Amino acid sequence: MKFTELKLNNKILEAIDYMGFEETTPIQEKSIPSILNGQDLIACAQTGTGKTAAFVIPILHKIIINKPIGINTLIIVPTRELALQIDQQIEGFAYFVSVGSIAIYGGGDGQDWETQKDALKKGVNIVVATPGKLLSHLKQNYVDFSKIEHLILDEADRMLDMGFYEDIRQIISYLPKNRQTLLFSATMPKSIENLANSILINPAKFSLNLSKPASGVKQTAYYCYENQKIKLLIHILNLHPDFDSILIFTSTKANVSNIVSNLRQKGIYSQGISSNLNQDEREEILRKFRARRISVLVATDVMSRGIDVKEINMVVNYDVPEDAEDYVHRVGRTARLETIGEAITLVNTEDIQKIRKIEALIESKIPKEYTPVEIGKAPNIDEYSNTNRKKGKKPFRNKFRNKKHNKHSNRKESN
């Protein structure tokens, strides 16, 4: 469906055209009409499907048409990165209209607090906020939410995972009961269902490709020992010298520094980003990554849902995530909006069960690749094959494994 078929305000259509969009994604096609009609909504969609525009565009249309006074829309998100991302998209879609927004998040200085306080007191049209920082403002009794018409919970499952349930309930207690509530989530666990049932009224429900990577993601897993990961990572990066946007996920902040140091020693310029950095430092690194001035970014999971960079070529899971759902969120950083990309996961022997849980969640097997022989003897893929173990088959011997690897390696190098 084309955006022009949705009967949106001409100024918004002009901004959409200016940003290079013409046709809606499936989540936009399903969500926008319901939101325009004032219906509550539960929408499940993986990252990279265009869900931010799915709620920003119709909310902007309604604000332009109705010209409300005071704070009209509250968007609650789990991380400061996502708050900034949504605020930037609001600015883009509202480029030709007079609609104001503010991102409320922690980690800044005293001036940031005063800027946020001033916007809240004056009654900016749209507030995008993380729960904890917003509550800090609410408790000062200068925020008027009595005129709010729209409440949006984005990445609702992530917020509950991060322990924000009670904060969300407290925030909702400040809002008028007569409002439109929209809940967007990548997954739909029981906790989200319970929250939705308590705050939404007769919602429309949409679910698109729940808990599965986008079809454009080419997934691969390498079995290796932990001490082989750095060499294997460097080998993988060297196979793709033309890639200018690579995101590497690791599970610990300590690993971020270690990976960056090892890559730089091999002439691969990279930067790391984690909660150890202050907000200004993180934003500067993200700006450089978006501008392709940094081609390799190493991050912790704090970034898995809070980064909006177009055309990321490859995501590498240096560590297999503890939660299978996080795998979907990580690899969702590539192949966004029906493009293509690669997702590679390094699996040590202690992570075999995790990769099986991921495969069960996404309902497909992740293709396994043989670790190059020059990196050293690696775990035999076939020893960990469910199929071989169930049928009592003997695993392939190393001689066969090396032969098969060499054949594959030659093919890869010729591409």
202 and 222 part of one domain:
no
**H/E segment holding residue 248:** strand 246-249
320 and 188 part of one domain:
no
pLDDT value of position 415: 32
Q: Is residue 263 part of a domain?
A: yes
Segments in 25-109 forming alpha helices (H) = 26-36, 51-66, 80-93
Q: Is residue 385 part of a domain?
A: no
Q: Is residue 70 part of a domain?
A: yes
Read off the pTM: 0.66
Q: How far is CA 261 from CA 34, 134, 293, 375, in A?
A: 49, 37, 18, 19
For 153-169, give one letter per residue: b (16+ CB within 10 A) or e: bbbbbbbbbbebeebbe
200 and 255 part of one domain:
no
11 and 137 part of one domain:
yes
55 and 150 part of one domain:
yes
- Give the domain-ending residue among 166, 183, 208: 208
Query: What is the C-alpha to C-alpha distance for residues 90 and 378, in angstroms, rounded to an integer?
Result: 49
Residue 159, domain extent: 3-208
197 and 221 part of one domain:
no
101 and 173 part of one domain:
yes
Which residues lie closer than 8 Å to 109 by C-beta, 6 or more apart? Answer: none
Domain at 369, CATH number: 3.40.50.300
Cβ atoms of 76 and 49 closer than 8 Å: no
- Give the domain-ending residue among 168, 189, 208: 208
pLDDT value of position 305: 54
Cβ atoms of 218 and 365 closer than 8 Å: no
pLDDT truncated to tens, each residue of the chain (415 aa)? 999 999 999 999 999 998 888 889 888 999 999 999 999 999 987 666 788 999 999 999 999 999 999 999 999 999 888 899 899 999 999 999 999 999 999 876 778 899 999 999 999 999 999 999 999 999 999 999 999 999 999 999 889 888 899 999 999 999 999 999 999 987 777 888 899 999 999 999 988 755 677 778 999 999 999 999 999 999 999 999 999 999 999 988 889 999 999 999 999 999 998 877 877 788 888 889 989 999 999 998 765 555 667 789 999 999 998 878 778 878 877 877 667 899 999 999 999 999 998 998 888 999 998 899 999 999 887 776 554 444 444 433 333 334 344 434 333 333 3
Q: Is residue 399 part of a domain?
A: no
pLDDT value of position 251: 86
Query: What is the C-alpha to C-alpha distance for residues 350 and 24, in angstroms, rounded to an integer?
Result: 42
246 and 182 part of one domain:
no
pLDDT value of position 324: 81
Cβ atoms of 99 and 69 closer than 8 Å: no
Looking at residue 189, the DSSP 8-state letter turns out to be -
7 and 42 part of one domain:
yes
**H/E segment holding residue 44:** strand 41-45
Query: What is the C-alpha to C-alpha distance for residues 190 and 211, in angstroms, rounded to an integer?
Result: 15
- Give the domain-ending residue among 208, 234, 262: 208
Q: Is residue 84 part of a domain?
A: yes
Q: How many domains does one find in the chain?
A: 2
151 and 259 part of one domain:
no
Q: Is residue 119 part of a domain?
A: yes
Q: Is residue 394 part of a domain?
A: no
54 and 101 part of one domain:
yes
289 and 363 part of one domain:
yes
Give the 3-state secondary structure percentages of the chain, helix then strand then coil, rounded to 5. 45, 15, 35
Query: What is the C-alpha to C-alpha distance for residues 44 and 4, in angstroms, rounded to an integer?
Result: 25
Q: Which two tokens stand for residue 191?
A: 């906790």
Q: Is residue 410 part of a domain?
A: no
